[in-house]
Amino acid sequence: AAMGACAEKHAPYDPSQDDCSRHRRSCASSLSYAVAPSECAKPSKTEAPNLTEVQKKHLVRAGGALERFMGRFNTNRITRDYSVELDKVGEGTFGIVRKGTRKGTSITRAIKTLSKKEMRNIKMFRQEIEIMKPLDHPNIVRMFEVFEDSTSIYLVMEFCQGGELFDRIIEAGHFDEGQTAIVLQQMFRTVFYLHSNFIAHRDLKPENILIVRSRPAE
């Protein structure tokens, strides 16, 4: 189930005024907020026997990035680097999402706290996070850092202040053809990028698309 949108009220949704609509992944083992990798399956080579040279390069590049990122979880306490707000932005079966600010800056991030106790397979979850890290696309929520302690894994992600597409549709009652075309165009571009990297998004729905009006200053 997807979490509720941010509590603040928004003006009627106009996709043409947004910087971008961002795809996120929801999953059974983490929160339905921003990027939750467990709904992204990495197909094996046997599932794509007739690879083109371009596809082979994508596969090698993705595998190399995965190898470089493995084992780089930050074991320092997240509160050493971030001031985390007490109020929750969202809540799911296995954890919560709060806003956080990197100390010494005004950069706002979404910090997702995932309970290890609720994870059925922590090793697989770590591998899925590593698959997600190298992704770089304007319509995919960025993952900046991962922290880990004895009880939890913390994902530091881009903060999407526009809320869920689902809530915007409910507020508007319906989207007209032009608005729908804008959203679908961005969605199709993102899915094409994922498929080019041999990643399948298995839960595409309005609840799993976030609206971003502006990026945090960096």
> Which amino acid appears at position 29 of this protein?
S
Mean pLDDT of 26-37: 31
* Total-model pTM: 0.60
| Pair of tokens at residue 78 | 């997240």
Residues of the binding site: 112
User: What residues contact 140, with CB distance under 8 A and at least 6 apart?
Assistant: 22, 23, 35, 190, 193, 194
| Residue 143, Ramachandran bin (φ over 0: left; ψ between -120 and 50: alpha; else beta) | beta
Q: What is the pLDDT of residues 134-188, one digit of tens each?
A: 899 999 989 899 999 888 999 999 998 888 899 899 999 999 999 999 999 999 9
Active-site position among 18, 19, 167, 203: 203
Give the pLDDT confidence score for residue 128 in this predicted structure: 81
122 pLDDT tier (thresholds 50, 70, 90):
confident
Strand, coil or helix: 181: helix
| Residue 104, Ramachandran bin (φ over 0: left; ψ between -120 and 50: alpha; else beta) | left
Percent of the chain with pLDDT over 70: 62
71 has pLDDT over 50: no
Among 103-117, 121-135, 185-199, the range scoring the smallest mean pLDDT is 121-135
195 has pLDDT over 90: yes
Strand, coil or helix: 44: coil
Pairing mode of beta strands 143-148, 152-158: antiparallel
The domain segmentation of the chain, as residue ranges, is: 15-212
Residue among 29, 196, 156, 163 nearest 90 (CA): 163
Residues of the binding site for ATP: 112
Q: Round to whole Å and give the CA distance between 158 and 144.
A: 7
Catalytic residue at 203?
A: yes
Return the CATH architecture of domain 15-212. Orthogonal Bundle (1.10)
